[in-house]
Amino acid sequence: MHAESRQGTLPNAQWSSRSVGKRWHRAFFALLIRIGGRRLAYVMMYVVTVWYVLFRPFVRRSCRYYLDRRFPTVRNPLARLWHDYRRATALGGALIDRGSYGILGPRALDLDFPEGPRLAELIDEGRGLIILNSHVGCWQVAMSALSHLRTSVSIVMHHGAADIDPRWFQCAGRQVPFSIIDPAQDMGGILKMIAVLEQKHVLGLMADRVFGNDPNTLEASFLGSGVRFPVSPYRLASMQGTPIAVVFSFKTGFSCYRIQIARVIRVPAGLGRSNTAYAPYLQQFVEALEDFVSAHPWQFLNFHDMWQRSG
């Protein structure tokens, strides 16, 4: 999850991982976390977010892509502004929680993952495991909870040169609890992804965003409008019948997150290269994501215009 870039809010612009915030913003909030913990950082975040929502129109515009579809009947200007603020503070809170986890360690948050043993059972099938995530809750913290699986975990994650949000886990010299595969490398890192699964390890993929101009996409209806989603996760699963676990996290209290397995998707082996062959399995993911945003509307933190790619 990144604080969305302004580039990503412009019509027909490709998404960039570059953050809205500046380096000194991250350093300032890291200092607040070290001095006064999460509560002090939250107080400042609430104040700063008021300024961003009132005086930075691109923030409201970024909020609207999703909110106009999730709450289509809300037309009162003050109610819409309040919704923008709630969504922006949800992102701010997730960033602080991620930073606190990296700076203060696991004691900063209470993670509840009652279905953890189920992931271990899927790994024990001996075909590796693909974990599909989305920009919901605090996904970086959720991925860190996978360390108890006692197997290697690799996450597909793009870090642009101008992206200043990541590396929270390294703020206090803490080792990142997973390996990173950057899709910007040669062949989109696909050979490394295949190697992870061939070694029967865990591969984590973000399933709600297309990187660059990837032709390996399919359109599915999400919140009533077409969105192009990547099809690569399902094609990777089909290579050797690797099970897919759709894993979401959501906040249940000020310091509490719950991690859930929203769905297990079984893609048959040997479906080939045709994108359309994977439509039923993509649809399962989209249905799981719609169920999530229905239950937790403020914790969907993808601020990119997903719908502009349709058609």
Instruction: With H, G, I as helix, E, B as strand and everything else as coil, classify residue 222.
Output: strand
Q: Which residues of the chain have pLDDT under 70?
A: 1-21, 159-177, 187-188, 211-213, 309-311
Q: What is the pLDDT of residue 169?
A: 53
Report DSSP letters for 252-268, one per residue: EETTEEEEEEEEEE-PP
How far, rounded to the nearest angstrom, does the alpha carbon of residue 226 sit from its chain's CA centroid?
20
Q: What is the pLDDT of residue 174?
A: 55
Q: What is the pLDDT of residue 171?
A: 54
HSE value, Cβ hemisphere, 13 Å, CA-based, for 310: 11
Q: What is the pLDDT of residue 167?
A: 55
Q: Report yes or no: 223 and 293 within 8 Å, Cβ to Cβ.
A: yes
What's the whole-model pTM score?
0.88
Q: What is the pLDDT of residue 54?
A: 97
Q: Which residue has the tokens 């719950």?
A: 258
Angle at 115 between CA 249 and CA 257, to 5 degrees: 30
Mode of pairing for the β-strands spanning 256-265 and 110-112: parallel
Q: What is the pLDDT of residue 183?
A: 78
Structure tokens given for 260: 């859930």
Q: What is the pLDDT of residue 136?
A: 94
Q: What is the pLDDT of residue 2?
A: 41
Domain boundaries in the chain? 6-104, 109-309
Q: Which residue has the tokens 């200043």?
A: 164
